[in-house]
Structure 1
Amino acid sequence: MSTKEMEFKCILFALCYFHAVVAERRKFGAQGWNRPYPFNNGDLTISINVLYNYLEANPTVPWDDLRYLFGEIMYGGHITDDWDRRLCRTYLSEYVQPEMLDGEVHLAPGFLIPPSLDYKGYHQYVDENLPPESPYLYGLHPNAEIGFLTLTSEQLFRTVLEMQPKESDAAGGSGVSREEKVQSVLEEILEKLPEPFNMVEIMAKAEEKTPFVVVAFQECERMNILTQEMRRSLKELDLGLKGELTITADMEELATALFYDSIPESWTRYAYPSLLSLGAWYADLLLRVRELDVWTTDFVLPATVWLAGFFNPQSFLTAIMQSMARKNEWPLDKMCLTVDVTKKYREEITAPPREGSFVHGLFMEGARWDVPSGAIADARLKELTPVVPVILIRAIPVDRLDTKNTYECPVYKTRMRGPTYVWTFNLKTKEKAAKWILAGVALLLQS
């Protein structure tokens, strides 16, 4: 038995709870962990051995060493994403701290670390005091469960749909064969597909190659590549359906995607990350083309920019820094972005700011933006991704950045998170940042 029996039991209990939380949090998908990790009982066993050895070898409890070993090596060894590493560290700093020895640390709302008991006593304590299973036990908002259950049911229905017979006469008794449905979707898309941007004309219009103009060029070029691939593949499939070309595997895949209202893989290669169905994705694509059309008419930045409308939002955010650096002759590598959430929404903004840019079209997951207090607040039930007001983004030298009372909020393109990371925005908070880290709060460019 350990010579520091009370400390050993106390930290061991918190460690077991921590293990349960990190392993079970995986079920909440990307809001739980950005990527799935293989946490297992071996991690817990090794951590207990490390805990025992460190308590025996040190006269006092080495809190920082223990947190580092558990969070960065034992469990952190599995973790490949920096935001997940931050989450793991935050759990340990909340659960493993000197105050736990006085019985003052809550592992979950209403669940204190118990005093020193025997094995049976711990079982009894857990049975009597552990609150019923809910997202609160992980530091998450109940909306996280709604989101995860909705996603699971959508996947289930999608699988059922894909298991339906694919023969022409079995199209659910709707009287429309599979080929006819594919043909009508194909014609509808081709009819609305915009003409490619004339790059020579656009380049001739731009007198000065400012960072924003370069972003516009890149976006138009990428949009052209995508729309050309769409036009080529759809015309090819059209000829195949008419019997003028042999149907290839690629054409078959495209037809299947059109039939199931999903985005064809040959298009996603050239497109931007999106979790929308084909119909919603195409409507979104047409909106993006319209935004680019307006912007490239005279290259004047819109009063407020739709950040989600870019293939590469990072390039626009970098352009804000570049133009500010050139204007003030500041070194670009010593600059960063500062973010101010305004009290206005898109319709209320009529003119661009003096410096930087207004951006709109962001959503918050895991919490909401409270306009009156100008800070992050708890989400309302069943509002999974509330809209964030227009944000003013400016570039400033790094040494002027105010990080007091802020939460470093990651911005992602979609709810998939992980590889769709865009930037980090420092948002004002009146509560501890740890609360929002555990709640998995992030900004999304697509709800």
Structure 2
Amino acid sequence: MFGPFERAVAGRYLRARRGERFVSVIAGFSLVGIALGVATLIIVMSVMNGFRQELLGRILGLNGHLGIYGVGQPLVDYDAVAARVRGVPGVVSVMPMVESAAGLKADRGGGFTGGVVRGVRLDDLRRTHVVADNIRAGSLDAFKGNDAVAIGVGLAQKFGIGIGDRIQIYAPESQSTPFGSIPRGRAYTVVALFQVGFNEADTSFVYMPLDAAQILFRVENAATQIEVVTTDPDRVREVNRAIRAALGPLPVRVIDWTQNNNSFFAAVEVERNVMFLILTLIILVAAFNIVSSLIMMVKDKTKDIAVLRTIGAGSGSIMRIFLMCGASVGIAGTLLGTLLGVVFCLNIETIRGWLESLTGTNLFNPEVYFLSRLPAVLQWNEVLQVVGMALVLSLLATLYPSWRAARTDPVEALRHE
């Protein structure tokens, strides 16, 4: 499509000579603009993907894919219900538990805060890998009896306690005495500290043996819910229907993660799409810079175009010369931006640490962003979409100036020379 003559002329025009620096400076800004736009778009999309994936993994790792709840009362025959659910195809694990909000306080001093207490069996807690694989101190071997709890590292730091210390846990219901209602609770020994990387869990979750939780929250021989983990969270609705069919007329509710967190993940998806549209404008602005630089180049090269036309170059050849000039800027900027964006995403935690040490600030506060690290997940199909979009916009930006150059009348151009 592009002959040796056209490539030679386009290359000569791209190398600025004395007196032509201004056009090259504009072309350079266009290249930098496209590179920054492509890099920024790749980085932001990757961070949004990582943010969603990390949140989904942490939330589902802690809460399971489905929850089975009693209607108006706790689940009394929870082991029988769990046995039925285990036989449903697609179910990986079933965990009866007692879950309740509670007040938390260090046994000696410290402040008071709210939290979530979960009563589970030791075997079930070991199968909750997001907790069992992230024990930072102590051991789950001591997680038994009526005097043991596992708490998050953030909660331990907040209270200034560690392994062997005691924490007061207060149930939501008060206790009536001759002197009036008083909070009902007791102290438990901390036997393990976990850190899952999800700030809300690390600072407010407490795990205790199922029997102890049944006594504390007065749901003897019952469970408040049964958590179910499936083979594929994206196909959880199919398993939901199968579980409903297996349980038959039992008075239970089955709620999956898409129902519990639908609005949250929908908001993340909307934000991701809006960021894509906004950052695409950066590439669009850079494409307009290509238009302006090419128009100035055509104006500057009017005499050269006329000479080329008089020695036999056709209008198609002139158009291809300027197409190459503009496309070269777009392609170079896109490739540079893609390289910059991919390298940044692959080393984003290192770069974040370097920037924090340089500025002395916390750029990614886990209390605000829920996660303890800045995630980035490159999806190569999205990278290819960004590259394709940048190349198309760059090519479209060259069409009008190239068409104007091809329509240059050599007689009119040389009349005043």
TM-score by structure 1 length?
0.21
Question: Which structure features the higher share of strand residues?
Answer: 2
* Larger relative contact order, structure 1 or 2 (CA cutoff 8 Å, min sep 6): 2
Structure with more of its chain in helix, by fraction:
2
